[in-house]
Amino acid sequence: MNNDQFVKVCLPVFLGLVVRSSVLLYPHSGQSNPPLYGDYEAQRHWMEITTNLPIHSWYVNSTENDLNYWGLDYPPLTAFHSWLMGKLSAWFNPQWTVLHSSRGVESYEHKVFMRYTVLLADLLVFIPSALLFFHRAIPRIVSNPKVPSFYACCLVLLYPGLVLIDHGHFQYNCISLGLFLAAVDAFLFDSDVLVVLYILIGHAVVMRNSSESAKRYSWLTPNTLLIGLLTGFSLLFLTQAAVPPPSAYPDLFPLAISIYSCGQFFAFLVFWNWQAFTDLVN
């Protein structure tokens, strides 16, 4: 790697770290705002729960685990990440994760610990995946990209939404986003095993459900979804085989199939998110 390439790779990383470090100087969401504080407290509380209670109690409402106070609502792999961070937190200061009495901890030392765990996660997971994507994966499929890799990296690593959500609002989304981007990288490098691996450990992907919603939508099973999907596609394919497209629109049926596929995806996306929202409200 020559000096020019070195600068093009390292400068976006340096700028991204400078911006992220600057955000760390400002308050996080919910700071000094009881009783729930904000997502900073949610992440800390998950460390408290996972390091003090047995695994079978992490998602169960009890006197020791009040689910109305930032109950764990992410999949188990996220909980194990909280457990790991909680163990590391207790190594620095056990008072940060004491059950119940540690609620609302916002000491300077604890903020330094929390902030830099996110910064380190960004540096180890998301940023390398982004660099690999723009500098190695994209050039494999596009010989002359419209946006040079240097500018593309700068745009992604300095994107306000990614920076503010994790480092201002306070979350660890950089891990799941980095793993997803790593899966895309692996796909472009024809590494199917790594694609599956990164997708499987993309630990923040969550679809909420409950027993009440299961009763309400008991008719909506994998079989009914599959039947509906195949019925729609069958009608489209039969129509394509039996009816010639208009001469003015020779690609009408492929376009209709594409629209149908995208429509189904967005319909299910809206449906499950609406279900999760109504469960949350009720």
Give the chain as a 3 state SS string.
CCHHHHHHHHHHHHHHHHHHHHHCCCCCCCCCCCCCCCHHHHHHHHHHHHHHCCHHHCCCCCCCCCCCCCCCCCCHHHHHHHHHHHHHHHHHCHHHHCCCCCCCCCCHHHHHHHHHHHHHHHHHHHHHHHHHHHHHHHHHHCCCCCCCHHHHHHHHHCCHHHHHHHHHHHCCHHHHHHHHHHHHHHHHCCCHHHHHHHHHCCCCCCCCCCHHHHHHCCCCCHHHHHHHHHHHHHHHHHHHHHCCCCCCCCCHHHHHHHHHHHHHHHHHHHHHHHHHHHHHHC
Confidence band of 128 (pLDDT split at 50, 70, 90): very high
Between 159 and 146, the more confident residue is 159
The pLDDT of residue 245 is above 90: no
- Picking from 175, 200, 225, the residue at the C-terminal end of a domain is 200
How many domains, the chain? 2
The pLDDT of residue 222 is above 60: no
Q: Are residues 54 and 73 in the same domain?
A: yes
Q: Are residues 119 and 190 in the same domain?
A: yes
| Residue 190 near residue 141 (C-beta atoms within 8 A) | no
Q: Are residues 164 and 85 in the same domain?
A: yes
Per-residue pLDDT averaged across 75-100, rounded?
91
Around Cβ 177, how many Cβ atoms within 10 Å?
Answer: 20
Between 32 and 209, the more confident residue is 32
Confidence band of 226 (pLDDT split at 50, 70, 90): low
Q: Are residues 181 and 243 in the same domain?
A: no
Q: Is residue 14 part of a domain?
A: yes
- 174-214, pLDDT tens digit by residue? 888 888 888 888 888 888 777 766 666 665 443 344 444 44
Q: Are residues 119 and 240 in the same domain?
A: no
Q: Are residues 223 and 160 in the same domain?
A: no
Per-residue pLDDT averaged across 155-174, rounded?
87
Structural domain range at position 263: 211-281
Q: Are residues 9 and 137 in the same domain?
A: yes
Per-residue pLDDT averaged across 107-123, rounded?
92
The pLDDT of residue 219 is above 80: no
Q: Is residue 206 part of a domain?
A: no
- Helices 76-92 and 39-52: angle between axes, nearest 10 degrees: 90
Between 77 and 64, the more confident residue is 64
- Picking from 200, 224, 258, the residue at the C-terminal end of a domain is 200
Confidence (pTM) = 0.67
Confidence band of 167 (pLDDT split at 50, 70, 90): confident
Per-residue pLDDT averaged across 55-63, rounded?
89
Q: Are residues 144 and 229 in the same domain?
A: no
Q: What is the pLDDT of residue 132?
A: 92
Per-residue pLDDT averaged across 22-30, rounded?
83
Q: Are residues 240 and 165 in the same domain?
A: no
Q: Is residue 205 part of a domain?
A: no
Confidence band of 123 (pLDDT split at 50, 70, 90): very high
Q: What is the pLDDT of residue 214?
A: 45
Q: Are residues 84 and 140 in the same domain?
A: yes
Q: Are residues 120 and 176 in the same domain?
A: yes
Between 216 and 255, the more confident residue is 255
Q: Are residues 234 and 215 in the same domain?
A: yes
- Picking from 150, 168, 200, the residue at the C-terminal end of a domain is 200
- Helices 3-23 and 149-157: angle between axes, nearest 10 degrees: 10
